A and B are shown apart, each in its own frame.
Chain A
Amino acid sequence: MSLDLFFQYLFAGITYGAIYAIVAIGFNIIYNATGIINFAQGEFVMLGGMISISLLQFMPLAAAMALAVAITMGIGATIEMLFIRWLDRPSVLRMIIITIGISILLRESALHIWGESIRSLPYFYGNEVTTFSLGNVHISPQVLWVLAACAVMVGGLNVFFKGTPIGREMRACAANRTAALLCGINTRNMVTLSFMLSAGIGALAGCVMSPITYTQYDSGTSLAIKGFTVAILGGLGNSMAAVAAGILLGVIEAFSVSVVPLAFQDAISITILLLILFVRPHGLFGSSAAARLKDF
């Protein structure tokens, strides 16, 4: 493999990795607030892409994306209030099945609203063939948008969780729900907020990735599996580690194309997921002692 090809693969890997990382962060936010893995996380990404594509007919790109993110956040909050808020200490099995049901409903609604066609947003800058060159490596400007979105999101979340009162309340809720309740924090609202936040992040990811990966009604499922792999790989609940793990998985996947057929690409990331689950279920960067205390 020539050096140029190596860098080309590397950049492709980093781009996809950033997308996986964003999905994984969405998983982590809800997991931290509730202890639930939201199996419908991939559908938020799909919804963000689909809604912004539909809105684009009526308004400029930036407004369409902002509105799509807002609408998806509304959907996330509605879902939480309808299906999760009023359950009294549901078992993990029950929550898994409910969120799977939600993902099916969102996917089927998307199928009936938008049909089976594959859509995409236009490139934010230039078009499909616009590239700029770093040496002999050609990079699409959209890649930079994806990376920038990922960086802004991670930075913004950090500021939000560490710097703002609401962010601190959410962290308190994640650390110990009962104690947070005793301190006068409305934990139920925090859970709703975590769903909104995670839906918004997913939707934004869906917008920036749409020109590269396209959007279809069922594109959420495989993204959810990848995002979950990344969340586990980094250690469930740890958003910073998720970025590192996401880029790692993206790069592994990109280079795997040169070894095995493309059709097996999904199988590779899932094999990695299984291996990680069997060998280090607390993730590459997590501690096993802390993982044992968590309730799966």
Chain B
Amino acid sequence: MQQRKILALAALCLLVVGLHLAAVLTGSLFYLTQLTMAAYYGLVIIGLGTLMGYAGQISLGHAGFFAIGGYLAASLTTRNLAIFQDSWPVRWLEGLGMLKSAQNLAGEPLLTMVPWAACGCAVAAAALIALLIGIPVLKLQGHYLAMATLGFGTIIYRILLASPYFGEADGISEVPGFTLLPALGQLGPVMVSGDPGLRVANYYLAWGVLILGMGLLLNLIGSRVGRALRSLHSSPEAAEAAGVDTSRFKLQVFVLSAVYAALAGVLLTHFNGGIGPSEASVMKSVRYVALVAVGGMAHLWGTLLMGVTLTFLSLRGVFGTFDDAVFGTILILVMLFAPEGILSLRLKQVWNAIFSGARS
């Protein structure tokens, strides 16, 4: 089991390198930009996949967590704190080295948070909100859970759209790059940004993060927690009878998936240099659910591959104005004919499903 897992992760690494080489050979290096973005979305999708497939809880509010991460990172690194310079929280932050002073184009002082600190704040905020929301929400089931999480996502969307601090309908732009490691000798700084010169580095960075995240989740699923989760999915009553604290495990996975979504939001916002309210829309949440469903609920590899592939195609604009319609169709077809995901499809079963459907 352990070996297969490592082998699969290694194969994914090879695939990543292979895609880079293919892009170089065909002279289409620009594909790497969308592949980078797809990798960050992939991070959201595998987190949600663990929640839906293993903990058995649907969430129609994950775009909300993505947006919490992205928007907090964007606002903290761009909004000027200079006017609050003398207040104690700002001084305290400055003392911790979490603020950076600069000058804007007009030469006025500009005081913003450094990306590291902003990232920490954003992910922590998402985790905290997930915890607070999760305690009551995860007591619900089925339709109620779906509607409650949908409601949560909509509230986040409305708040972003109505707050001048978050840029209302325009969102936040001109977000600086996120320097992960300072420049060392010959090497330039390792930085999450949309600078074309850093395209290849960012590609590997994003996939590195995704592979790391995938490895962590695979380990989680194979562990004691994972077994508890799977028992929870098949029969909550039996799991509880066996001594599994079901509500605690559900909550932990919910918070974990929110953290994945928020981290993806932070990194993608730095990569794109901005974020808009559409990232928090209900349609985005539905799309994440669709991608998880296509890959197969309890099938993390399927989720990852289908999620990244379809996101990549969508980002390339392959579906044109039918983008949302394509996702809706996929959602329905997969749920009708292959509720376990496309990769679990047996053609004979499909034939039977259609055939018996025609008969009844």
> B140 at the A/B interface (Cβ < 8 Å)?
yes
- On whether the beta carbons of A263 and B162 are closer than 8 Å, the reply is yes
Cα distance, A107 to B357, chains bound together (Å): 26
* Residue from the list B52, B148, B322, B332 in contact with A108, Cβ < 8 A: B322
B329, A86: Cβ atoms closer than 8 Å:
no
Q: Are B336 and A98 in contact (CB under 8 A)?
A: yes
Residues of chain B within 8 A (CB-CB) of A278 are 136-137, 139
The digit string for B30-59, where 1 denotes a CB below 8 A from any CB of A, is 000000000000000000000010001010
- Closest-by-CB residue of B relative to A98 is B335
Q: A270-B155, A277-B148 are in contact. Are A263 and B325 (CB under 8 A)?
A: no
What is the minimal beta-carbon distance from B131 to any residue of chain A, in angstroms? 15
B146 at the interface (CB under 8 A from A): yes
B329:A225 contact, CB within 8 angstroms: no
Size category of the B interface is 35 or more
Distance to closest chain A CB from B299 (angstroms): 15
Contact A97 B142 (CB under 8 A): no
Q: Does B348 contact A (CB under 8 A)?
A: no
Residue of A91, A96, A105, A296 touching B332 (CB-CB under 8 A): A105
Indicate which residue in A96, A221, A266, A273 contacts B148 across the interface (CB closer than 8 Å): A273
Q: Does A273 lie within 8 Å of B151, measured CB to CB? A: yes
Q: How far is the CA of A181 from the CA of B162 in the complex (A)?
A: 52
Chain A, interface size category, equals: 35 or more
Does B158 lie within 8 Å of A264, measured CB to CB? yes
State how many angstroms separate the Cβ of A190 from the closest Cβ of chain B: 16
Among A93, A105, A261: residue with most chain B CB under 10 A = A93
Question: What are the interface flags for A222-253 relative to B under an 8 Å C-beta threshold, 1 for contact and 0 otherwise?
Answer: 10010010001000000000000000000000
- Per CB-CB distance, the 6 closest pairs between chain A and chain B, nearest first, are A104-B328, A263-B162, A101-B331, A296-B142, A101-B332, A108-B325
Q: List 17 A-B contacts (CB under 8 A).
A: A83-B336, A86-B356, A92-B141, A92-B142, A93-B142, A100-B60, A104-B283, A104-B327, A104-B328, A105-B332, A225-B147, A263-B158, A263-B161, A273-B147, A277-B140, A277-B147, A296-B143
A contact set with B: CB distance below 8 Å: 37, 39, 83, 85-87, 90-94, 96-98, 100-105, 107-109, 112, 221-222, 225, 228, 232, 261, 263-264, 266-267, 270-271, 273-274, 277-278, 281, 295-296
